[in-house]
Chains A and B, each alone.
Chain A
Amino acid sequence: MIDCDVHCAPATLEALGPYLSDYWREYTTTAGIRLLGMASAYPPNAPTTGDPAPDSYDALREQVLEPFAPRLVILNCLTLCEAHRNPHYQAALASALNDWLIAEFLDRDERLRASLVVSTVDTDDALSEVERLGGDPRFVQVLMPIRADTPFGNRRFHRLYASAAERGMAIGLHAWGRAGHSPTTTGYTLSYVEDYLANQVIAQTHVLSLVSEGVFETIPRLRVALLECGFAWLPSLLWRFDKDWKGVWREVPWVKERPSSYVRRHFRATTAPAHLPPGNEGSTRELLEMVGTELLMHASDFPHQHGPSAAATYELLSDEAREAVLDANAAEFYAFAR
């Protein structure tokens, strides 16, 4: 079993001290910066948040590796996604988090892999980080939280994607990200539940953008994982996308195939949250058929709690499909040894 989305995070900025320069240590200290633990994305006491993400290898071993016995684990550290906008600080913090991931986790257990944390405000800084650490095969993808300034198909990102693909890395689009923007295309939200649900709509925006901007024609080796973004929305999106493309493809001649064929070839999605109709096996089966289980990769999303939907989904799969979702699909996507 491969778990494609397990969270970890330093509990305090002090844990990153050894990986920050004197300037940034002083900056964070005198400005009184604390790590808020992505509190707007994961309010500490919300029912969906669960316990704090493991902040050490020992905690991870105790909470994930021993109880679930995964063959491989991909660690996603979202600590960078606080609100701050200083690009120099972003770059320094991203590097510190990656150095912390290596020392605290990757060097301590062969089963561990991680997403590379990169600046979400400056593409050149992100590129530098890929060049610095992307040669390490334990970093399997570049982490791109979806609450961003710009849709991800924008040309500014293409050189980053090319560099990642060259190194055999995927792009990991993960729920949440930059606070401050309205999470929806229609304006501010008032409730956490609306914010939480906005992720699956924002993910669709990026899928639309990546295909429409011709990213996969330019960089045919690029692969994209949708992490914690859901997947039940894929069929309806692709129906509409294909239909519109058939009508107006002349506007985007670089999109040479039906949009759904790019998505089916280049994208995979993790299983948590699933958000499928509870207790309605028939609908769930049909939906899984429409999505295609070959697109799904298992994730516990530890420590977050999205309800029983994902577990119920596994019970409906054939043995073969379940094995593929639990292990083989991810092994193929990330080119892990079987």
Chain B
Amino acid sequence: MSVTQATSQTGAETPRQVSLVDCDIHPTLTMPELQKRVSERWRRHLERFGRRTPMITEFYPRTANAGFRLDSWPEGPGGFPGSDLGLLQTQLLDEFDIDYGILNSLGLLNCHEVPELAAEMARALNDWMVEWMDEEPRLLGAMVVPYEYPDLAVKEIERCAGDPRWVQLIFPDSAEDPLGSRKYWPIYEAATGHGLPVAVHTAGYWPHLDTGWPSYYLEEHVANSMRMQSQLTNFICEGTFRQFPDMRLVLTEAGVAWAVPLTWSLDSAWEQLRDDSPPIDRRPSEIVREHVWFTTQPIEEPDTPEEFAQMIAHAGLEDRLLFATDYPHWDFDSPAQALPRSLGPELRQKILAGNAAELYGLPLAPPE
């Protein structure tokens, strides 16, 4: 990190030179802590009935260290990887000299709850992340919203959007309806109106509606990229970007190389079938290049590293890749090692910081 100038202490006074941005950090608000932060009515509900959607780890156990970096478990009782700010600062932000890290909470993404509870959970998670951002100025947040209830989600956006540390919204990649659907448009309208990109992160109800349920975590984890391909195709076919010309979409933790053959197939199908889907008003690859970003972790690793660079160049996605560590998960990508050497120093630096700085408007203006 030779070009790093920023230090964590400067914050308000000195404009930062941004040289490393981590676009996917997972903080965890544990259940007892969540229960403290919702109203008595819904605390009682959580105690009596729990959450109605099983966690993905219940379907597909991660066979080592429960799926987390072994060193990410906080000491002491009740801790969980990602629940301790001090440990996150030491192991991640300080260790790699990260200028900005985006908190992508998965706390509401695996839930399908009644509207009032979903809204309270979103509010609790957002308020808790604000506490962390107050304490640690290197942290930025992905706003959690009760996405299955667009009216309530818009309310939460309006409540939070004045704080510039919220740099995006977060959605799961498997929700009740495909994400390009009109059902979710009011949320995209509000987010785009506030200049907030929409991140879609691998998570959700995991219904495996295509072929049924796979057997192993190996299949499930590889399949994350397939689910994202379906979502991206859906956004294009439903005309979501035509409706919201300023919408920016960040596909998170699903890899990137698949996007290249996908845009080829979208283009070639569109040539022949454009009459079938009027919302696709121009070449899909152009739509993708204009509206879509990809986080790197878990980055594809071909045996011949040059092939990754070639693939990215084919689709002209050099400006669209955002570095991510996925801390504290087991497949953490180290900023020092993860990006293929074949990308060259200039492109590597864009991926490590420049693209994110441009997308999210970093460095943030110092607070008034």
Residues of A within 8 A of B (CB): 27-28, 30-33, 36, 39-40, 43-47, 82-87, 121, 149, 179-182, 187-192, 195
Contact = CB atoms under 8 A, between A and B. Distances in A.
Contact of A190 (B54, B66, B114, B213): B114
A179 B54 contact: yes
B134 interface: no
A5 B225 CA distance: 44
B63 A31 contact: yes
A190 B112 CA distance: 6
Contact of A188 (B49, B176, B212): B176
Contacts of A84: 58-61
B64 interface: yes
B52 A189 contact: yes
Contacts of B214: 85
Interface in B46-70: 47-50, 52, 54, 57-67
B112 A32 contact: no
Nearest first, the 7 closest Cβ-Cβ pairs linking A and B are: A32-B66, A31-B61, A83-B58, A45-B48, A83-B54, A43-B49, A179-B54
Contacts of B112: 188, 190
B58 A179 contact: yes
B207 A27 contact: no
B58 A30 contact: no
B216 A46 contact: no
Nearest to B55: A83
B360 interface: no
Nearest to A32: B66
Given A27-B61, A84-B59, 14 more contacts: A27-B63, A28-B61, A30-B66, A31-B61, A31-B62, A31-B66, A32-B66, A83-B54, A85-B215, A121-B215, A179-B54, A179-B58, A188-B205, A190-B52
Contacts of A44: 50
B215 A87 contact: yes
A33 B47 CA distance: 21
Nearest to A31: B61
20 contacts: A30-B64, A31-B66, A32-B61, A32-B65, A32-B67, A36-B58, A43-B49, A43-B50, A45-B48, A83-B54, A84-B59, A84-B60, A85-B59, A85-B216, A86-B215, A180-B206, A187-B176, A188-B112, A192-B49, A195-B52
Contacts of A87: 215
Contacts of B47: 45
Contacts of B113: 190
B226 to A, nearest CB: 17
Contacts of B58: 36, 82-84, 179
A187 B66 CA distance: 30
A306 B269 CA distance: 56
Contacts of A45: 47-49
A168 to B, nearest CB: 32
B213 A40 contact: no
Contact of A40 (B54, B64, B66): B54
Contacts of B50: 39-40, 43-44
Contacts of A190: 52, 112-114
Contacts of A43: 48-50
Contacts of B49: 43, 45-46, 191-192
A309 to B, nearest CB: 22
A182 B174 CA distance: 14
